[in-house]
Amino acid sequence: MLITRFGDRSEPLFRPRFLGEKAEGLDFLVELVSTYPRSAFCFVQVKTTTLGLTARGRLRVGLDLREVRRLLHYPAATYLVGIDARDGVETGYIISVNQGPARRIASLSTRFPLDGGNLRILWEEVTRFWSGRDMRLSDSHFRDRG
């Protein structure tokens, strides 16, 4: 729930919705708060470890090639969040899983911690993603023609 940190704001930027075991490869649909009139969201896969960092300073979590391919197929902004849960203190890191060739992620960069600054950047990035898309169904077969 690190994504719901308030930081210097009076309300969180995100509202996560756990998808349960049936949503293979995705843990959360994360809605952005205050994007009215548009609704914006992203998908997040979460991996937690108590194994700490590699010798190169990367978190010991990852995704196999099949999991990466699955995430790349979603038509939305999609992220991997790694949680370092050593010593009862949780620290989170985030990376995008949206572009490039599909390849396994053996470990996670710690370059982007889930802190106030990066949460704001994430909110802006996902807002930008959806701002150029008109996702309304314009001519439904089921429209009430009165």
- In the chain, domain spans: 2-131
Interval 73-122: pLDDT, tens: 988 999 999 999 987 888 999 999 998 788 999 999 999 999 989 999 99
Long-range contacts: 24-28, Cβ < 8 Å, 24+?
24/70, 25/67, 25/70, 25/71, 26/71, 26/74
Query: Given pLDDT bands bounded at 50, 70 and 90, which one contains residue 131?
Result: confident
Residue 9: predicted pLDDT: 55
**What's this model's pTM, rounded to 2 decimal places?**
0.85
Residue 31 identity (one-letter amino acid):
E
Bridge partner list, 105: 63
Look up residue 13 and give its two tokens. 């930027």
Does domain 2-131 correspond to CATH entry 3.40.1350? yes
**Residue 3, SS3 per DSSP:** helix
Give the model's confidence band at 11: pLDDT under 50 very low, under 70 low, under 90 confident, else very high: confident
Task: Name residues whose C-beta falls within 8 Å of residue 82's C-beta, 6 or more positions apart in sequence.
Answer: 46, 47, 48, 49, 59, 61, 92, 93, 94, 95, 108
> pLDDT for 37-49, tens place per residue?
568 899 999 999 9
